[in-house]
């Protein structure tokens, strides 16, 4: 989905990126890997009952680059949890986008989602992971794929984060994908919720969802965040009206509660922000490094998600998955530069946009 070229950074920043990337170790031998993805892992050796966060990069990005910008492994090292970075290959998508719009890659036990599931199973089997505290988050195409993982393997995750993403089941072709990114052609909340319910045989409880969207996003329009809210609100049976609205670090934050009073859906709407990951790089609650699609917004999506999921201290978050017993009872912001297309014929323009979005070779 992102269509800006990678920028060149100073040697100092490159050195910092090398340090954070060095924490990530290749994950191999994790299964049949039908989606032909790479995997990278950071897991502290001296911890038990660790949470695991699965992190999915956006288009044009790599696992190491996204880790450096988002700060996930920095936070994991400080607070003792593990992070897994599935990584796309150019042989699958020339712009390194996860294939969220390809049916076989977002169907349970098929393609890319199965590869990611196999990675998770391998990490749980090899490390001291608490299976009740597994989370998934992603940006853009990675956000759409995070939504797919939550939909097709809901029993696996306690919660997830979708940043500048697309609702699950919104598109299964290039033309549909482009239309949805523009905010057009979306189905209603009930139809979208039904797509999640039909993606597996799972009957609940359902993972909690944290949704992040820049108000000035020109690549994935804010209407997509509204559709994602409706999808997961419907799955959880939450009311249309949020139960709480407040301002966090200068940005609107809305919360929906389930019937048991737990937070099940939240949304952060980032004022003035274009397409990218919201960062706060200085002061309390800071994490990550600004760069291409890593945007200083005065609020850290990485830190806030980790806080919501109870990863920043000993106390568990209220959004952690219920116990087995309760399950049995339950059925200032910066923006990216504008994209300026040359004055050319319509066919060339459309094809250029499709290629830059990773939807056409």
Return the active site residues.
Answer: 140
Asked if residues 155 and 204 have their Cβ atoms less than 8 Å apart, the reply is no
Asked if residues 17 and 71 have their Cβ atoms less than 8 Å apart, the reply is no
User: What Å distances lie between residue 231 and 9, 27, 286, 322, CA to CA?
Assistant: 39, 33, 30, 21
Torsion of CA 47, 281, 63, 162, to 10 degrees: 90
Write phi, then psi, for 130 (nearest 5 degrees): -80, 110
Interhelix angle 111-126/141-152, rounded to 10 degrees, is: 70
Asked if residues 84 and 137 have their Cβ atoms less than 8 Å apart, the reply is no
Task: Please name which of 159, 176, 175 lies closest in space to residue 167, comparing C-alpha atoms.
Answer: 176
* DSSP category for residue 337: P
Asked if residues 113 and 72 have their Cβ atoms less than 8 Å apart, the reply is no
Asked if residues 208 and 264 have their Cβ atoms less than 8 Å apart, the reply is yes
Using a 10 angstrom Cβ sphere, with 0-12 exposed, 13-18 middle and 19 or more buried, the burial of residue 190 is exposed
- Largest pairwise CA distance in the chain: 62
Task: Please name which of 212, 202, 204 lies closest in space to residue 322, comparing C-alpha atoms.
Answer: 204
Asked if residues 87 and 63 have their Cβ atoms less than 8 Å apart, the reply is yes
The count of other CB atoms within 10 Å of the CB of residue 28 is 9
């Amino acid at each position: 989905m992102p269509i800006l070229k990678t920028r060149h950074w100073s040697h100092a920043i490159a050195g910092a990126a090398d340090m954070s990337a060095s924490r990530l170790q290749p994950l191999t031998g994790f299964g049949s890997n039908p989606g032909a993805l790479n995997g990278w892992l950071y897991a502290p050796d001296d911890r038990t009952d660790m949470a695991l966060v699965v992190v999915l990069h956006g288009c044009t990005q790599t696992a190491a680059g996204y880790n450096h910008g988002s700060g996930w492994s920095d936070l994991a090292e400080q607070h003792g949890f593990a992070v897994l970075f599935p990584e796309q290959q150019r042989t699958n998508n020339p712009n390194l986008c996860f294939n969220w719009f390809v049916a076989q890659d977002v169907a349970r036990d098929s393609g890319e989602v199965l590869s990611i599931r196999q990675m998770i199973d391998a990490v749980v089997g090899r490390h001291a992971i608490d299976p009740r505290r597994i989370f998934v988050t992603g940006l853009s195409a990675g956000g759409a794929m995070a939504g797919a993982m939550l939909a097709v393997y809901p029993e696996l995750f306690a919660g997830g984060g979708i940043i500048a993403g697309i609702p699950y089941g919104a598109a299964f072709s290039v033309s549909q994908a482009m239309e949805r990114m523009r905010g057009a052609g979306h189905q209603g909340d009930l139809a979208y919720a039904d797509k999640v319910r039909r993606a597996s045989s799972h009957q609940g409880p359902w993972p909690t969802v944290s949704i992040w969207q820049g108000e000035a996003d020109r690549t994935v329009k804010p209407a997509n965040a509204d559709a994602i809210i409706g999808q997961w609100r419907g799955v959880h049976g939450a009311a249309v009206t949020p139960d709480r609205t407040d301002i966090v670090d200068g940005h609107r934050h809305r919360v929906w509660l389930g019937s048991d009073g737990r937070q099940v859906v939240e949304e952060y709407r980032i004022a003035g922000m274009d397409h990218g990951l919201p960062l706060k790089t200085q002061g309390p609650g800071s994490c990550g490094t600004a760069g291409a699609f890593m945007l200083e917004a005065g609020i850290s999506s990485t830190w806030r998600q980790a806080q919501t999921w109870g990863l920043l201290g000993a106390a568990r978050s209220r959004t952690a998955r219920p116990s087995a017993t309760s399950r049995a009872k339950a059925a200032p912001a910066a923006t990216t530069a504008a994209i300026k297309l040359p004055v050319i014929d319509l066919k060339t323009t459309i094809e250029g946009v499709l290629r830059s979005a990773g939807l056409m070779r």
